[in-house]
Structure 1
Amino acid sequence: MSVRITEENYSHEAVKENRKIITSASVFGILRQQLVKNIGIKRIKGFLFHYGWEMGINVANEALQTDSSIENLIKHGPILHIKNGHISGIKHDCTFELDEKKQIRDFYSFGTWYESYEAEEHIKRFGQSDGPVCHTLIGFASGFMSTVFGEPLLARETACVGKGDPECRWIMKPKKDWEMELQDPHELDFYNETTIVKELELTYDQLLDQKNVVTRLAHFQNQLTEEIINGSGLQTIADMVYQMVQIPIIVEDNVHRTITYSGIDSDTYLLLASDMENYLQKIQLKTNPLLPFRKKIIKTSIQERLITPILLQKQVIGYCSFFYEDIKNHYHEEDYLFLDRFANAASLILLNEKTKFETFERMKGSFLEQILENRLPASEIIKRGKYTGVNLEQNYYIAIMEYKKTQGSIEDDFLLQEQIFETTFRYFKEKKHHILAGHRDGNMVLFITNETLQNKAIQNAMQEYFDYMHQNFPRSHFKLGISRLGEDINQALRCYEEAAIALRLAFKKKIVPFQSLGIVGVLINSKNISAIKMIAKQELGALYNIQDHKMVELLKTLYIFLLNGGKLEQTMLDLALSMSGLRHRISRIESLLEKDLRDAQEMHQLLLIIKSLIAMGEITFD
């Protein structure tokens, strides 16, 4: 079977104007459905608005060819809405005022659409919407009226059947009025919405830029890795980073002291550092002066910095900064990618330096242990000492520091020991003092030469070290014992024992030189241990029973009482006792000793005996 369509089926009428196409509302519903499928429901608002806008402009231009007044044209628009089947009816009120140049001085329009085809088709194909859906009608009305008045007029739906309202209502105002009234300026984005083609072009350009950044970043990372593998120092890598990114770079420690910089001269750096110090002093009054664990942009009157921390073992050990001379031409997000990788590289380099330094210091601690145990002859010790940077032919002191945390587990004690070790290394490194340091019997042992002290008294030097440690570990308790001056390396063990004796007697004073012990030091140093014990047993009687807790408490009370020269008030404060409780204890002690504690000679002898027992390690008071 064949079917032929003859020529008579074609219209021979010439189409001089726009050809009229007759179609149903469902066709626009299908178009809407396909648009949602292909470009998404969020984008169809702008697409349909501009589609309606162009139709409104086209119809308005046709209407303007007539000699109709503006009033008639305003009436003509809704009629065309109805004729085209967009709506079945309309209510429309429009108030406007023009100036002498026929420009809008005041304009306000509102109305109601009945049986909007857009609302019906949207509900039929997508169900009820969260917002208005008559985008084509809004666009048509806006385009038509904007063309008639020659100025941008925008209609917005305030109610819509498509979102469950009983009717579709709208308001029209000049675009500039909407911009001033709307709290969210993005509500008018659909009016200037970028076309899909343009958006794709912008996306492509952005992807191309991102590709270039990723390529540069990969090359940058490879260069950093290669330099780290080759063992390059921080200055070398900082110079390389500046050559690659052409942004001056500054590296500082966690208290903003200079580590290195590149891309600026020393005078400029000093100026920037002074300016940054002033900035930090100002913010210190209100906030934590330490910068955060993430990037930060700091702006002052003379500089702008992009800063990121250098993290090591979850602690901030320094900061890397990009310094911008021209604060207009830079991109923080892109620059941060490079700065962050440099900070990671700096962390690895500083970790390597820290590990090498601590390994060397621990080796020196092991060497100190060999010296104290007399494992090596003096000549060998002096020769090896040269490799540690310590001249062991110099006179020296040995100091022992005891440290205890108020509360903590075994793990906390171990961690504290490591922290004490590292902090001690850092303290003497910053002072550029070459010493030997190590652990022995749970205490920190320091070997310090006269050359290191640089004519400073040993007690003053140790006081500075003590204060530094107490500042860094405020919840820990420290005591220090200092030996007499050692003149020969073979006397190291003797000096260690002197420092240990002084440490045991550091009760009321936190730093005790052995030389201050007087006769006690001489007695113990003379190895009269058995004689001292015999005298102690004879003079202290029942109090010399270290197994009995009550006797130890009474002996401690006696010791504090004697240290205070028999002053009850001070002893009461030191022991946190009431006066009546203290008097009872003193009376009990006198009864056990059968001695008068007001006798100066008896007091002196008893104090000497107790100090000797403490110095020998026979008794300890917490």
Structure 2
Amino acid sequence: MHFTVSKALNIKLFERCQLVAGKDGLNRTIRSVSIMDTVDTRGLKNGDLLLTTGFVFKDDTDKQIQLIQEMANRGCAGLAIKVKRFFSTTPEAMRAEADRLHFPLIEIPYDISLSDLLVLVTREIFNRENFFNDQKRKKEFFTELFSGGFTNKDAIINQLAEYGVFLNNSFAVMYCLQKNSPVSGTTNSDMFLSLISEIETKYDLKMYVVKLDHYIIIIQPQDSLSLERQSVKEAANYLVDKYQKQFPDTGITIGIGNYKEEAVHLISSYIEARNAIELGLQLNNDGIGKVYEYTAMEPDFLLRELPDSILNNFLSSALNPLIKYDEQNDTELLKTLEVFLQCRGKIEDTARSLFLHRNTVKFRITRIEELLKVDFKNGEELFRLQLGLRAARLLHKIK
């Protein structure tokens, strides 16, 4: 983000200076700062902030107005004049012209040294340039890393360590896909990072955030050698829920890659996280704003490798009576069965998930048992049903 006049007026010492005109130009970027002791403006360039006592134009209104005009035309950042020395206050003509041209005009208190301000602002510009250069290098590194550009384990570990990522314990990658557009804007970014800090404490995790087109999070445990799978999913659900409440029009969907033990496998977890989102959104019409774990979806990835003809044959063998019944009676027995099994056969939980009365669910389950002639206590039959339901999802038979 650019170092603007507005930001300069909030840093130490400079905050005592006062903007007296040109408030509509506060977003001008400061790229350099200097002390002016002549009225020669030929060396002025875009982004210059000039500090002056005003001695060279103290008695010449035309020069005062001309200076404002030339600086504004050259794209300078602003002009700061030390008062109570040659001016009791900034001349009205300069204020009027600065307001007209939306050019920031600032008064420096008498007790503040111009050289102190020069050093302060120069240091701030230098620090910010270094920061943004570091951010640029960081983005370039992670872009190359996640595209498979780095394969040497030691090189990856050393570069990650430089950015504060120590992959000594197990880790996993979260890929956060934002709805509508890539994550952007100061408000969204600050709020997102604030949520990450909250989650780190709540779930005892370390979460290293990388911002590329979307947020990528490297997750590690704080102390133990391995991640708790459930805590990571709970943290992801917490993030989705909180973010959705703050920004309902730009909610996020999260994919979680498998847990790894070595830094060289970071790219693998990242790819898995992205694939989990891709398949999750493919399988679910209302899949936005949810969390998808690659581990939980591995059977779906295996089934996806099979030809549709084989999937259709298996689906017909396992669940055809339900599919036909739903088509003929406009019912949702297939969906009810899926949710029933996800809820581990609990009627109350199934009813709550489907927003139905428990008696309605009981009736549907009884009808499913009659049509499929299935015993829900038989493990092999349950496995076959679950596999069939996954095939139905891949073939878009479940809405």
Coarse TM-score class (shorter-chain normalised): 0.3 to 0.5
TM-score computed with the length of structure 1 as normaliser: 0.33
Larger radius of gyration: 1
Higher relative contact order (CA 8 A, sep 6+): 2
